[in-house]
Amino acid sequence: MDGRENVKRRGINIILVGVCLLLVVNGAMAQQDDPPREVPLICDKFESGSDAERVSYYLGEGAAYFNAGELARANDSFSCIVEQIDARHALGYASRGDVYAAQRDFVEAIEDYGSAVVSDAGLVGALNNRGIAYAALRDFEAALADFNRALDAEPGYRLALVNRGIIQALLGQYEAAIADLETAISQSRIDVALADLRRPDRRGDDPYPVYDPLDAHAYAVLGMVYSAYALDNYQGYLLLTDPLGDRRIQSAAGSLESRANFDLRLDDISWLLAAEFIPGG
């Protein structure tokens, strides 16, 4: 690939990133302009029961609606909890935050996760998920602050460790990102499982190590961060040697850049790990 192609390709990438930004930001702005609730919220189930029973009912109803993909109805169920039964119900807010996030209304999700944390300062999952919502709005500093707060409250919280690693890499803090991901890996002991699987004398009938496949996610992210770090260095080299840089490095940089702009985008929030407040099933 010659220099002109590189420039052309970079131009296309810049346009695509711009389109992405517009999509995300416009989506968020459109959500902000949503009209107020047109149909009044009716929360008349288990009316003669205790508040605890009513909350329990709407938690169940909301969970099933969420799992059925009926997000507006799920939103109403959790709204019944926080708007009509218990205005300080942290799980109600966090669950509705999950619904808003699924509806891609990240502004409202941030609001609800924030209310959840106000109601229960120990709910680190809400901080983690708010960080993800900030990242979706491309406010990486705010996202980093939330992952930091989650880790201050619970230093071993692996979801926030992995997520902070991703955000740090996006901010160019590669060493810190790698350190967080290595910590997540060693804390989960997924490295022990990997070493066991790679053991040369391992026999076919040896028991398979027990681990949570979700913990393997840290390795995938670590690879992406190393790739981004490598790309950053290649680009530094190419900037310094332009236009006489080694063509092998130009080629490697182009390849990595393509990956980083498409299927391995660190700013794609699908790499972030969300705490789940709404049970599945």
Partner 1 sequence: MRLKVIGLLICLLMAGGVVRAQTPTPEPCDPSRDTAYFVGIGNAWYNAGDLTRAIAAYSCALERDPTSAEALARRGYARSAQGDDAGALADLEEALALDPEYVDAYVHRGVLYVRQGIFALAQADFDAALRLDPPNVVALHNRAVAYAAEFRYALALADLDAALAIAPDDPELHAALGAVYLGLAAESYGQFRALAGDNIPVTGGAPQTLYLALERNALSGNFGEWLAFLRAVED
Q: Is the dihedral of CA 245, 250, 252, 254 positive or negative?
A: positive
Residue 271 binds partner 1, judged by CB under 8 A: yes
Give me the least distance between CB of 182 and partner 1, in Å please.
19
Residue 14 binds partner 1, judged by CB under 8 A: no
At 70, which amino acid appears?
E
Residue 60 binds partner 1, judged by CB under 8 A: yes
Helix (H) or strand (E) holding 57: helix 51-67
Q: Name residue, tokens 């609001």.
A: 111
* Contact indicator for 277, 91 with CB cutoff of 8 Å: yes
Residue 228 binds partner 1, judged by CB under 8 A: no
Radius of gyration of the chain (CA): 23
Q: Cβ neighbours of residue 203 under 8 Å, at least 6 residues apart? A: none
The closest alpha carbon to 275, from 91, 103, 119, 88, belongs to 91
**The only residue of 56, 103, 187, 235 in contact with partner 1, by rule CB under 8 A:** 56
Residue 76 binds partner 1, judged by CB under 8 A: no
| Piece in contact with partner 1 (CB under 8 A), picked from 50-58, 147-155, 170-178, 227-235 | 50-58
Residue 86 binds partner 1, judged by CB under 8 A: no
Q: Rounded distance, CA 168 to CA 148, Å?
A: 11
**The only residue of 12, 41, 118, 197 in contact with partner 1, by rule CB under 8 A:** 12
| Piece in contact with partner 1 (CB under 8 A), picked from 11-19, 182-190, 230-238, 243-251 | 11-19
**The only residue of 57, 78, 100, 134 in contact with partner 1, by rule CB under 8 A:** 57
- Tell me the DSSP string of 17-31: HHHHHHHHHHHHHHH
Residue 260 binds partner 1, judged by CB under 8 A: no
**The only residue of 43, 75, 77, 119 in contact with partner 1, by rule CB under 8 A:** 77
DSSP classification of residue 210: P
Spacing of C-alpha 162 from chain mean position = 9
3-class DSSP state of 41: coil
Residue 262 binds partner 1, judged by CB under 8 A: yes
The closest alpha carbon to 152, from 119, 105, 117, belongs to 117
Residue 252 binds partner 1, judged by CB under 8 A: no
Complex with partner 1: residue 104 or 194, whichever CB lies closer: 104
Residue 121 binds partner 1, judged by CB under 8 A: no
Both tokens of residue 103? 């509806």
Residue 189 binds partner 1, judged by CB under 8 A: no
Residue 268 binds partner 1, judged by CB under 8 A: yes
Residue 30 binds partner 1, judged by CB under 8 A: no
Complex with partner 1: residue 103 or 237, whichever CB lies closer: 103
Backbone angles phi, psi at 128, to 5 degrees: -60, -50
Interface contacts to partner 1, rule CB under 8 A? 9, 12-13, 15-16, 19-20, 23-24, 27, 45-46, 49, 53-54, 56-65, 68, 70, 73-74, 77, 101-102, 104, 106, 125, 132, 136, 159, 214, 217, 261-263, 265, 267-276, 279-281
